[in-house]
Structures are given as structure tokens and as C-alpha cells.
Amino acid sequence: MNRYTLAAREIRKSLPPEPGLRDIVRFASLAANSHNTQPWKFLINEDTVNILPDFLRSTPAVDPDDHHLYISLGCAAENLVVAARASGRSTETTTHRDEAGDTFIRIALGEGEVTDTMLSDAIPKRQSTRSEYDGTTLSDAELDQLAEAATREGVHFHLITQRMKLDQALEFIQVGNAAQMDDPAFVDELKSWIRFSSKTSIEKADGLSAPSTGNPSSPDWLGPIVFGFAFRKKAETAKLARHLASSAGLVVFVADDETPEGWINVGRSFERFALMATALGLCHAHMNMPIEAASIRPEFAKWLGIEGRRPDLVVRFGRGEPMPMSLRRPVEDVIVA
């Protein structure tokens, strides 16, 4: 077993029988997040955990208003809540503003009943599976379980499984992707978060590693050159079509409030959806191009029937084979005094 696989397994090991707060924070850090930037810090007190934004890990080209960053914090909060409840703790989650006006999350912990064990068990298995799926449809029972998991006050979602609607969505996804690929700042930022070699992946323990994106590792000097030749609009357009055609459906999440608090809510809703999908043996991956490309977003919203509002996440789902896991920084690196 190579060093990369060992590192991925170590950070994803099961919770001990009586997990402490550091163990629960480790599970929180396994949450979905944009570009695997892991834009969070955790402040642990005796019976509370604060989840703080780490703006040094922001992605201004793709996420100029920190929308994705706050969704990522919401994902981490939901993982923390699920893991805490599975260990017999109660949770109360609130949002606050610090002296600079930045939003953060506070989770108060107490004694409670053991719940959410199925979702907690899914946390170390969840991944963004960036590959083709098998093209099969889901049962009504599976779709109902996914919808129930995603249901959250302050968040609406659109579950799309009709092939005609998926084909229409693909057009927006492809146009959004083309707009991003025409933006040098977007391409440079994406490249800066790709970890081309296993050595760099292990050292940094963040970003988009080659194995987790279905690509072979390469030397750091060679990877950017190969990326420049391989990252072409025609090839990416065709890949997006294959990926969506092989998926069972799309889900689009929309916050009631276009605020950091609303985006945190979206993250919590999506993460619970993703954990349920994982528990059911399903895969998921983001197709956020039509919401990240600002020029495409209004027309995409109009197509969804939410003209004037902002769609927040676009996620495909279906049955597929898992890929190599991404890495995470050690828990010591994300806990602050």
C-alpha cells in the first residue's frame, strides 16, 4: 500500500468507542469543500466548538463573495453535528458575527441520545466521485430518502431525474464551463490547487490530488505542462456530457437568504444529502459551472423557475465505483487556541 493511500486511511479511521472533541473535529474536517481548500478553523472549548472561516484558503476567482467558503463551513458543521449525535451528545447550532463582522458557527454540546449512526458511519466513506457512473435509475424509495435527508428549513432543492430536463441542464453546465475555461484567473486558481505529485499531495494534505480526480500522479514540474495540453474545452465539454448521461439525476440547492447564514444552511442540507447518498451506496459530484459563471447564473435560475434568486449548488448523483480518497490536514493543523 502506497503512502498516499495510507495517509487517506489514517485521517478516515473510525471514531473510537468514546470519541473526544478532537475525534469529532477530525470527522468534521472530512466534509465536502470547494477545491479541497479546507477553509476552516476549529476553536474547542469545554462544551462548545466554534467553526471559523479561514480566508487565507479562499478562492477569489471562482468564489469572489466567499459563497462556497461558507457552504463548506456548513458542510463541516453538519458532519460535526452528526458525529456528535452518534456519540451520544446533544447539539445546538447557532451563527454569530465576530468583531470584524465575519460569520462563524458555534455548536454547543451536551448529553443526549445516540442518533444518526448510519450517517456518521458514512462520513469517512463520503467523497466527490468525479467519474462516470453506471447510468441506472434510482428507486422511488431511494429518492425519498435523499429528499428527506436534504430537507431543511431555509433551504429548497430541485431534484431532477427526467432525461429531457437533465439534457437541458447540461447545456447550462457546458456553457458555464466554457466561460470558466476562458477566464485565465479561474484556470490559474484551479491549477494552483491541483496537487500533481503524490509527494506534494501528502505534504500539503489539501487540494485536488491526481488520484482523487482520476488522473495519474506526475512530477510537479511536468504536471502543469500536461494540464495545459489536456485541459481543453472540447474534451471537457464531452466529459461533462458523459458524466451527466451516466448519472441518475441532479439536485440543485437554493437558500432562502443570500447571506453567509443562508449559505451555511445550504452546506448543512447538502452534506446530509451526501451522507445519505453514501449510506445508500450512491455517488455524487458537483457540477457547479452554471452557478459559478456569473454571466450564466441568471438564465439558469430562470430555467429552474426561481428567476431573481441565486441557485447555490448543482450536484449529480447515481451509482458508481468509488475513487481514491482525497486527503485532509491533520486535526492539529485545523484546531486553533
The set of cell numbers assigned to 298 is 441568471
Looking up cell 455517488 gives 283
The set of cell numbers assigned to 181 is 475555461
pLDDT number for residue 57: 99
pLDDT number for residue 28: 99
pLDDT number for residue 198: 92
Q: Which segments of the chain does DSSP mark as H helices, in order?
A: 3-11, 21-28, 67-86, 117-122, 140-150, 163-181, 184-192, 198-204, 223-230, 233-245, 260-279, 289-292, 297-304, 331-334
Within 10 A of 228 (CB to CB), how many other CB atoms are there? 11
Whole-prediction pTM: 0.97
pLDDT number for residue 55: 98
By DSSP bridging, strand 283-286 and strand 311-318 are antiparallel
Cα–Cα distance for residue pair 161/5, rounded to 1 Å: 34
pLDDT by residue (tens digit) across 277-334? 999 999 999 999 999 999 999 999 999 999 999 999 999 999 999 999 999 999 999 9
Per DSSP, the chain holds a count of helices (H) and strands (E) of 14, 11
Cα–Cα distance for residue pair 142/246, rounded to 1 Å: 17
Query: Domains in the chain, please, with CATH?
Result: 3-174+242-336 (3.40.109.10)
**CA separation, residue 287 to residues 120, 240, 333 (Å):** 25, 8, 30
Q: What is the pLDDT along the chain (337 residues), one digit of tens a residue?
A: 789 999 999 999 999 999 999 999 999 999 999 999 999 999 999 899 999 999 999 999 999 999 999 999 999 999 999 999 999 999 999 999 999 999 999 999 999 999 999 999 999 999 999 999 999 999 999 999 999 999 999 999 999 999 999 999 999 999 999 999 999 999 999 999 999 999 999 999 999 998 888 788 899 999 999 998 889 999 999 999 999 999 999 999 999 999 999 999 999 999 999 999 999 999 999 999 999 999 999 999 999 999 999 999 999 999 999 999 999 999 999 999 7
pLDDT number for residue 43: 98
**CA separation, residue 334 to residues 8, 41, 53, 226, 331 (Å):** 17, 5, 11, 32, 5
Nearest CA to 275 out of 101, 112, 62, 85 is that of 85
The CA-based dihedral angle spanning residues 133, 179, 155, 90, taken in that order and rounded to the nearest 10 degrees: 70
The set of cell numbers assigned to 40 is 476552516
pLDDT number for residue 210: 86
Cα–Cα distance for residue pair 252/244, rounded to 1 Å: 14
